[in-house]
Amino acid sequence: MSKIAVVPGSFDPLTNGHLDIIKRAARVFDEVNVVVMNNSAKNSLFTAEERIELIRVVTASIPNVKVEASAGLMIDYAKSIGATAVVRGLRAVTDFEYEMQITSMNRVLDESIETFFIMTNNQYSFLSSSIVKEVAKYGGAISELVPKQVEEALKKKFEA
């Protein structure tokens, strides 16, 4: 039976930190479904379609990675595709409390789906979509922080 994992997130937009987690999950699981969650209270810069397209282009060379959107409960999405695992990235201790809450809630909703955490690569431990957007907005250099396609998309957004 192939092991399917879900990597959920806002990805507004994808950063090198996200990409690192996706690549590492793809080495461990047979199939990795990156799911762009589109129901949070967060005001997003990119539409769900734009976020998906960017992740698709950037991960095109990884054969076992798929990208989709979901507007419902992440755990329902995971069940619907037969996933047995959820993979999240952990940066600093500040991520811990939030992740603990979500993981506990997801376990209440379905205890058969296990959540795994991948520790960030040191070089990405302070990297977030919000920081990237802030720097890009004021024309700062972000080429080390995001894939090229994301850098271009951000430039376009802030030019408009």
- Number of other residues whose CB lies within 10 A of the CB of residue 142: 19
Query: Residue 111 burial by CB count (10 A; 0-12/13-18/19+): exposed, middle or buried?
Result: exposed
Position among 95, 103, 107, 157 found at the interface with ligand ADP (CB under 6 A): 95
Least distance between ligand ADP and beta carbon 14 (Å): 8
- Separation in Å, CA 67 to CA 64, 103, 113, 117: 10, 22, 19, 19
* 42 flagged as catalytic: yes
Query: Residue 73 burial by CB count (10 A; 0-12/13-18/19+): exposed, middle or buried?
Result: middle
Position among 9, 85, 86, 115 found at the interface with ligand ADP (CB under 6 A): 9
* 130 flagged as catalytic: no
When asked if residue 23 is in the footprint of ligand ADP (CB under 6 A), the reply is no
Q: Of residues 24, 56, 91, 107, which has the active-site annotation?
A: 91
Smallest Cα–Cα separation from 37: which of 75, 9, 59? 9
Q: What would the x/- binding string for ligand ADP be over residues 118 to 137, using CB under 6 A?
A: --x---x--xxx--------
* Contact by Cβ (8 Å): 36, 55: yes
Least distance between ligand ADP and beta carbon 1 (Å): 25
Q: Of residues 42, 137, 148, 155, which has the active-site annotation?
A: 42
* 129 flagged as catalytic: yes
The residues carrying an active-site annotation are 18, 42, 91, 129
Binding site for ligand ADP (CB under 6 A): 9-11, 15, 17-18, 21, 88-89, 91, 95, 120, 124, 127-129
